[in-house]
Structure 1
Amino acid sequence: MESLEPPSAGNVDVRLVASSPEAARRVAEILRRCFASTEQRSYPVGTAPGGTRLHLTVDTDRAAEPARSWLVTSRSSGDGHRQTDEV
């Protein structure tokens, strides 16, 4: 089981689940254009062929535009609730 400990300050662990490795890589590439990040790690998921789970960590303290301006103006909802399908 994966640790549910939060990452270090300024970092966000991102978990993507996609129907194909290519779809997951496209989203990871967009995140890398906005934030410094670790190397992605991918794993097969589900019983359907091609399903992929991709993990990477992004550094929000080293954000590029447009993410930097979005982070400055965004605010947390503060409710702290998980969606029902979250692990």
Structure 2
Amino acid sequence: MQPPDPPSAGRAEVRIVAAYPEAARQVAEVLRRCFDGTEQRSYPAGADGGTRLHLIVDTAHTAEPPRSWLVASRSSGQDPTQTDEV
């Protein structure tokens, strides 16, 4: 069996395998926030159950403006302040 042909330049094929479909969809959603991509395809992930998602992402074009790690890690304001914070 021959390996599949790689995607064209600037694109990456992503395969997500998870025990539950919702977990796989959540990971795909995070990738879609970072990169433009194709519609995902879903398949069963074997005899033990689970889900396998395939999607192609465009690594040359971001889907949302990039955010620094500091901005991305900030609280939404809904979390209560810890008592030991100054």
Asked whether the two chains share a fold, i.e. TM above 0.5, the reply is: yes
**Cα RMSD, aligned residues only:** 1.8
Structure 2: gaps spanning 5 or more residues: 69-86
Amino acid paired to 1:38: T
Rg comparison, structure with higher value: 2
The share of aligned pairs that are identical, in percent, is 62
> Which residue in the other structure is 1:11 paired with?
11
> Which residue in the other structure is 1:61 paired with?
60
- Cα deviation code 1:35-74 (max 9, x no counterpart): 000000000112123x0010000001102414xx8xxxxx
> Which residue in the other structure is 2:33 paired with?
33
What is the TM-score when the length of structure 2 is the normalising length? 0.69
Amino acid paired to 2:60: D
Note the 1:75-86 alignment, pairs <5 A: none
